[in-house]
A and B are shown apart, each in its own frame.
Chain A
């Protein structure tokens, strides 16, 4: 997602790191590069100018003198400023990580129904986001939600929301043909009141911010329904226009928050910074896929780290933690201790990887793997390979799964037939499995809790390495396996996700030694896989 931007900035800092000291001129040079990087990331020009000015100010002076290495200091300053900007604070850089972040949660503190009005340009993703949000509020807030589409412009827009409502099991306002948006809104409010709904989500028609007639219409709807939240839905791929759209909508109807959609694209996401800066309103959610549960919390720190190419180690750990069944983890941890990791366990890991968004999803979360990810894409390795691997294991007998050494040529042919694969594929899988098994044995000596956190972050990395290193790329680039245990080491040594957070240095509390390791790891990863062994 934000890889290219991250890579660019990492490149700049790499150059800085190689120098002994950081002078004012160095900062200026770096800022010129950062300006280009930000503009290429589609951050709007006025926002870039302001960011550069503030960041330069923060970078020149005593801050630099106190740093461990100049490069690291600039990374930290830019990172902190990005976070500050994304959180709507653009004063001094964060000083100790103890400041409370802006409240991104939805506001329901009103007499029910709490009305949430969705607005935005055509095609920004309002209808899909409305359904995603309704599902989320129902599931996470345990509130009863009704949705109503006020979109009488686009053909079948109301029907689209009705279908999504059925899919997500959310009540939608029955469609009455010929009603005007304002009339529908009023009827929806009445129905939601009498029906005793906690929340009413209003999906409006897409409109240009300069379309006076439609903007007057939405103002009237706003006045009539008094929404407690007015969310601007905007495309993460938006260019310089992001500031215009955001400020127009904000000035004319007053938005309370932003939902940024298509964050799963390969755009650089500068629009997030632009819109946040120009409206001063929080980005509340990120739309990250076509499925109805693909709505993520906005986390400035994670986004900024991602922008800086530091990847999203925290995200990786969290994702791993939530997707893996705790029970499975206990079992795996126990097995690791005993050193009896078998193909069944391997299959379990494969399934977990798939749950977490597959290879590409995971790779996006790891730091500095933009290049590896591209290699991955061009080499054609895909989530389908994970499925194939699962199929192979499923085609084995129970005994074979417990002891892979049983697999002679004849058995392999049988398995290949059964799983619709071929023998070389099975051999590759076995090689990966052995590598993972070796890893597991290595960490078997650790205590149980460390081992468990390994499963969340580290072992997964090992598996990832295994999957890639196992030759699935067809003789292409071969990643250096030692890099992945490095990640594993972080997970194990830290013991728990909060420690990892500190490692990133964003919170300001990370130990220098660990940051250095992280930096080195990032560089190694960014340099990409080594050629075959």
Chain B
């Protein structure tokens, strides 16, 4: 058997339902070292990171509620849910919230443009519900002037939702576009402005500075803006998420996250570590490419999935 085959077999083994595995081998006794190890490995495989997983297991070991094997995975899921549930804060366009400017940032390919398309739709629905079917005035700003066809992509999303899309020539200064767009939004009384930005790696100082400039332009316009500064994080990401949040927070004054591609096999356990470190609200999760595939973050469902538990009915 070659290495790849062996590895695939190991993978299949590790992917089996943890709860089932534990029950069959122990049947409700006391938890031993190998069980703890198996739990720790489950967390590591879910992208908790080795140190965070170890500290989590250490904390759980001293928890008396967890002395028995019965429902151990469920209990741990509940603990994780407790960490995450305060951060599940869906966005809303309720009337008392007033006008909103939302800045959306992230590394390349994380799903910024798609998320904005879906976000425009969901906030539109939300506004209608709160205002007796009245449509809000929504503006999308295509401040990704770098990537080929990024503007067209956002324009198509704008057409789907029937909202305005403000664009500029390719390779022009995104901050200048944002400035003009915000002027227009004020003059024409828009309820919501969603700013799409070019993908940038958090360690690319030049592009991060560009983001800083966009933020300054927004602040010049309205000191309280952006009302939401959202980092779009790909669920498949590993430990680099911590660097991303740290550096985008420093440059773009983050106050929330959107997690994309959670419909795949990735568990995004790094969110638990992020929750402990930054306590940033999770505004929404992306689970597909359709216009209504942006869902509120459900801490319970998420935590259960981390431990290979089936969703609650």
Contacts and interface: CB of A to CB of B under 8 A. Distances in A.
Contacts of B131: none
A163 interface: yes
Find the residue from A88, A241, A360 having the highest chain B CB count within 10 A.
A241
A278 B238 contact: no
B8 interface: yes
Interface in A247-268: 247-248, 261-262, 264-268
A154 B153 contact: yes
Interface string A123-150: 1110000000000000000000000000
Interface string B6-29: 111011001000000000000000
Interface in B98-125: 107-111, 114, 117
B157 A277 contact: no
Interface stretch (B46-54, B173-181, B277-285): B46-54
A271 B7 contact: no
Contact of A266 (B2, B44, B114, B243): B243
A46 B108 contact: no
Interface stretch (A181-189, A232-240, A308-316): A232-240
Find the residue from B6, B8, B240 having the highest chain A CB count within 10 A.
B240
B190 interface: no
Interface string A428-472: 000000000000000000000000000000000000000000000
A239 B47 contact: yes
Interface stretch (B85-93, B218-226, B265-273): B265-273
B239 A268 contact: yes
A49 B47 CA distance: 16
A235 B238 CA distance: 10
A155 B235 CA distance: 21
Interface stretch (A32-40, A223-231, A399-407, A519-527): A32-40
Contacts, number: 180
Contact of B239 (A40, A209, A210, A242): A40
A61 to B, nearest CB: 21
B265 A235 contact: no
Interface string A81-114: 0000000101000000000000000000000000
B107 A262 contact: yes
A180 interface: no
Find the residue from A156, A268, A279, A382 having the highest chain B CB count within 10 A.
A156
B158 to A, nearest CB: 10
Contacts of A210: 264-265
A39 B147 CA distance: 33
Nearest to A127: B148
A279 B4 contact: yes
A245 B149 contact: no
B94 interface: no
Contacts of B11: 46, 243-244, 247, 278
B156 interface: yes
B203 interface: yes
A212 B233 CA distance: 24
B270 A239 contact: yes
B19 to A, nearest CB: 19
Nearest to B13: A46
Interface string A264-302: 111110110000011110000000001000000000000
Contact of A121 (B49, B203, B264): B264
Interface residues of B, number: 57
A42 interface: yes
Contacts of A267: 238-240, 243
A283 to B, nearest CB: 14
A517 interface: no
Interface in A38-63: 39-42, 44-47, 49-50
Contacts of A167: 148
Nearest to A1: B203
A153 B289 contact: yes
B36 to A, nearest CB: 15
A427 interface: no
Given A40-B51, A267-B238, A157 B261 contact: no
B153 A237 contact: no
A42 B289 contact: no
Contact of B7 (A36, A153, A154, A278): A278
A36 B270 CA distance: 16
Nearest to B50: A39
A45 B4 contact: no
A266 B239 contact: no
B189 to A, nearest CB: 28
B237 interface: yes
A244 B238 contact: no
A140 to B, nearest CB: 23
B205 A241 contact: no
A511 interface: no
A208 B261 contact: yes
Contacts of B150: 156, 160
Contacts of B261: 121-123, 208
B265 A241 contact: yes
Nearest to A279: B4
Contacts of B234: 123, 235, 237
Given A36-B51, A155-B157, A164-B148, A122 B111 contact: yes
Interface string A156-171: 1101111110010000
Given A241-B264, A244-B11, 14 more contacts: A36-B50, A40-B49, A41-B239, A88-B3, A121-B236, A155-B157, A208-B265, A239-B236, A241-B267, A243-B11, A264-B204, A266-B243, A267-B240, A280-B4
5 nearest A-B residue pairs (beta carbon): A239-B238, A123-B109, A42-B238, A160-B149, A155-B156
Interface of A: 35-36, 39-42, 44-47, 49-50, 88, 90, 121-125, 153-157, 159-164, 167, 208-210, 235, 237-245, 247-248, 261-262, 264-268, 270-271, 277-280, 290, 360, 377, 382-383
Interface of B: 2-4, 6-8, 10-11, 14, 41, 44-47, 49-51, 107-111, 114, 117, 146-150, 152-153, 155-157, 201-206, 234-240, 243, 260-261, 263-267, 270, 289
24 contacts: A42-B238, A42-B239, A44-B45, A46-B14, A49-B10, A90-B3, A122-B261, A156-B149, A209-B265, A235-B237, A237-B234, A238-B238, A240-B238, A240-B267, A241-B47, A241-B265, A242-B236, A247-B8, A265-B201, A266-B201, A267-B240, A277-B3, A277-B4, A377-B205
